Structures are given as C-alpha cells and as structure tokens.
Amino acid sequence: MGIALPHHRWPELLTGYCRRHKLIFMFTCLLFSLPLGAQNLVGPGTGSNIPIVIAHRGASGYLPEHTLAAYSLAIWQGADFIEPDLVLTKDGHLIARHDNVLNLTTDVAERSEFSSRKKTKSVDGITVEGWFSEDFTLAEIKTLRAIERIPRLRQSNVKFNGQFRIPTLAEIIQLTLSLEAIIGRPIGIYPETKHPSYFDKLGLNMNERLIDVLEHYGYGNQGRVFIQSFEVDNLKRLAAITSIPLIQLMDVTGTPFDQREQENGLSYADMSTAKGLADVAGYAAGVGVYKPMVLEYDDNAGSWGKPTPFMQNAKALGLLVHPYTFRAENFFLPTSLRSNPVPDSYGYVEQEIQQFLDAGVDGFFIDHPDYGVRAIATFHKKSVDESSVRSD
C-alpha cells in the first residue's frame, strides 16, 4: 500500500490540508500511503486471538479528540476499534465528548451568545463550573467547535482548534460504515456511557438511546461493538436487554458513582478481587483497566514488572482485558522508556505495549493508533517466529 508517512510529518500534512478545507481529499489520499492494519477484530464470534488496537477518542494524539477527523485518521492508521465517549444533549441526542462539561473540549467559553449558560453543578459528586451538554440542544451543539484538551503537551493539535464540529454517535457510525466499504475491512465501535446515573436523574436514559442507535445501524453481537462503563448497574441493565458484549471499566482506587449512593456499594478494590471479578464475569465479557492493574510497576527502576494477581484472575475467568491508556509522549511513559527529558517528545511506547502484550492482554486503548498497529505487527511476527521454532 505504499510507504507510511513519517510520524513527525502528521501535524505539517494535516495543517496544510485543513487550511485549504480539503479534509475529505486528505483522508482519501492517506488511504494510499498508510498501512491498513491487522484487519483484526477480537470479540465474541470472531475466532481471532490477535489483540485489538482501540483508538482512544480517535487518533487523539494527532487531532482534537472525539472529532470525525480524529476517528477517520485512526481508521486509516489501522485501528480495529474507535472509541467514542458519549454524553447527552438537552433534547436527548448522543454526542461524542469525554465529559458533559463542554468548555474542556469546545470553544463554548468564547461564545458570547452562550455566556448565560455557565453554571455550577455537582456531577458524580464533584462540584464543577462550566457549560454542560444537557443544557444545549443538538442544534446549539452543532454551532460549537472542538478544541484540544491538553494543549501544553499537544501544541500541534492546537492548530486545529475551531475547525471540527461535535459529532453525534449516528454520524460516527455513518462514517465508520462508509470507511469500511472503502477500506474493505470491518471496523469496530467501542462506546463508553459517561455519567449514566447523572443523566438518568435528568430524565435522559442513556442505555435505551444507545441501543436504539446501535440496532438502527445493524450493530449486534458480531464482534464489531463493545459497550463500556465505569458504573455497574447500567451495565447490568444493559446485559438484560442486549447481547452486545459489555466491558466493566475499573480504576486502581475509588468507587463507581452509582455504587457510592448505595449502602453496600462496591469499590473498585472490591471488584478487583477474585470474587469481585467472578461477579463481573456474570454480566460483562471483559474489563477495561488502568495499566498498573495489569503489570506491577517498579518505582525505583521506572519500569513495568511482572503480571499482577488481578491479571491472572481475570484471565482464569475468561474475561477480556483491555488496559488504558497508551500514549507516545514521554510525559505519560515510564521513566525507563522516555527518549529524552522533553515531556512532549515521543518515547518508546511500542516497547511499553510489547510488555503488556507479553502479559496476555486482549487489546489496548491508545491515543496514537499507528504505534499500536506497529506494536501488534511486531508481536504477531514474534509469536509466529516462536511457534515456527517450537515446531522445528
């Protein structure tokens, strides 16, 4: 398929095309210069055991997150799944934002017509000031433009501030299906329900709307979709109404918000025990977990160590394990894998991924999907070579 573009040229290439408003042409051209990835989906019924690359909020290391451009680039780079975080608008539409706090990733704070919408609210028990998705109709959301979430580390992405609209889940699926037809390989959707209990209290049921959209576009249990959540009860309710595989998200510390409000609510520590994981296996196909839950971390050496008991217990139960989040910048890497002292320089994230693949993970969330695709290719080649040696 040609020679892949050097990674340092992504900002230069993308900026030039965006300035000329030729994004569709840009992504079509990229098709002929980028590898198409492993063409692999791991899920129920796929019959594949190659780990999947999950584009975390799209190719969010290269473009502002949760935009059609970021999802498109992730697909061209070879991601197996794209991951939209979902919140709701005032009129009940599912849109892709990491938070319902719009000023974190849109230009709403600069829009004088919406200045009176600024409020202080309690979201999942945390007091937050800003502009909130549930106070805007979809038509109003469509007047906003995306901005970079972490500008100090991703200055190249800041060049795209104000150029991309906020997509709905339906638009993301339409894009995905169109690119499937062009590329000729399946592309999975991996939506996360954000703050489902919070929206329920506002009379906005996220589960029903999500299933309606997925079913409308023919997404079912064919290994092309996972639904994930940090909460528990909404996943259990989903398990009762759909056969789509569910992923229970977990953190090292804390408690799911819906469990905090219950007298005997579970903490993530409770859920991470052998018994807790057995309970999770009763309604979920897998777990999405913070990286230190998979491998032990050696602070003195600044490197990852051996697999944790959590990892061993999860695999013994047949749970899929998808750790989050891999990022190429030195700032996010173990000290032993940093290329230099500059926080926004790229380090050796492929080596980090290899350590987790060796531990047996079934996929991983990453901001830079092209690095993930290369890591999978290296891992697969190594596995094939080792198998050939054993058979000789």
- Residue 325: asked if its preceding bond is cis (omega within 30°), the reply is yes
Distance from C-alpha of 356 to C-alpha of 392, rounded to nearest angstrom:
28
288 bridge partner residues: 249, 322
Helices 169-183 and 206-216, interaxial angle, to 10°? Answer: 30
- Looking at per-residue pLDDT, the higher value among 265 and 204 belongs to 204
pLDDT at 29: 41
- For residue 278, what are the contacts with CB-CB under 8 A and spacing of at least 6? 317
Map residue 246 onto helix, strand or coil.
strand
Top pLDDT among 321 and 11 is at: 321
Strands 295-298 and 303-307: antiparallel
The pLDDT assigned to 45 comes to 37
The rounded distance, in Å, linking the Cα atoms of 17 and 162 is 15
Give the integer Cα–Cα distance in Å for 84 and 102.
15
DSSP SS3 for 15 = helix
Alpha carbon 285 to chain centroid distance?
Answer: 17
Report pLDDT digits (tens) over 125-137: 999 999 999 999 9
Q: For all residues of the chain together, what is the average pLDDT?
A: 89
Residue 264: predicted pLDDT: 78
Task: Give the pLDDT score at 84.
Answer: 98
* Annotated catalytic residue, options 98, 195, 322, 368: 98
Tell me the average pLDDT across 275-300.
97
Q: Where are the alpha helices (DSSP H) in the chain?
A: 10-19, 23-31, 68-76, 138-141, 155-158, 169-183, 196-201, 206-216, 233-241, 257-260, 268-271, 274-280, 309-316, 349-358, 369-391
Write out pLDDT tens, residues 308-367.
999 999 999 999 999 999 999 999 999 999 999 999 999 999 999 999 999 999 999 999
380 in catalytic set:
no
Q: pLDDT digits over 31-83, tens only?
A: 433 444 445 554 443 445 789 999 999 999 999 999 999 999 999 999 999 99
Question: CA separation (Å) from 8 to 4, 62, 152, 327, 335?
Answer: 12, 10, 17, 15, 22
Answer yes or no: are the C-beta atoms of 51 and 361 closer than 8 Å.
yes
Question: Is residue 66 flagged as an active site residue?
Answer: no
Q: What is the pTM of this model?
A: 0.89
Distance CA 305, CA 155 (A): 32
Task: Please say whether the beta carbons of 197 and 123 come within 8 A.
Answer: no
How would residue 306 be classed by pLDDT, with cut points 50, 70 and 90?
A: very high
Q: What are the residues facing 146 on neighbouring strands? A: 106
Residue of 56, 66, 195, 368 with catalytic role: 56
| pLDDT at site 49 | 78
pLDDT higher than 80, residue 388:
no
CATH of span 39-391: 3.20.20.190
pLDDT digits over 20-30, tens only? 434 543 444 44
Residue 93 scores a pLDDT above 80: yes
- Binned at pLDDT 50, 70 and 90, residue 219 comes out as confident
Strand partners, 94: 88
Give the whole-angstrom CA distance, residue 136 versus residue 130.
13
